[in-house]
Amino acid sequence: MSSSEPIAYTYEADTHCPYHARLRFGRDARGIISGESVDSEGNAVGAVYEWDDWSEDGLYCGDDLETIRAPYVEPDDGGLAAFTMADGDAITRVLEAR
């Protein structure tokens, strides 16, 4: 997943991983959910990007409760904060220097 692709989508009053959103709505020519997609309540499907604000408590898929972004962990090892990123079955560990 490139940094310009959504890390999650919002629909049905919940957050969902890209995998489950693609199963539900399909993809456009760029491989992402079409901006014209609507949920069963008539609301447009929203995209969540890496640079968007999201809860320090983590970000989870409403379909299977898998972690999209793990909760923020306060650094205690010389200034490194850890996050876990997931896209479908691929999981990557990223350390971000503060």
Q: What's the pLDDT at 25?
A: 94
Kindly tell me if the per-residue pLDDT of 73 is higher than 80: no
What gap in Å lies between CA 13 and CA 45, rounded to an integer? Answer: 10
- What is the arithmetic mean of pLDDT over 60-82? 80
| CA 64 to centroid of chain Cα atoms | 13
pTM comes to 0.69
Query: Does the residue 91 lie in any domain?
Result: yes
Domain count for the chain, please give it. Answer: 1
Domain that holds residue 73: 8-97
Query: Does the residue 3 lie in any domain?
Result: no
Q: What's the pLDDT at 23?
A: 94
CB atoms < 10 A from the CB of 87, how many? 15
Buried b (16+ CB within 10 A) or exposed e, 19-46: bbbbebbeeeeeebbeeebebeeeeebb
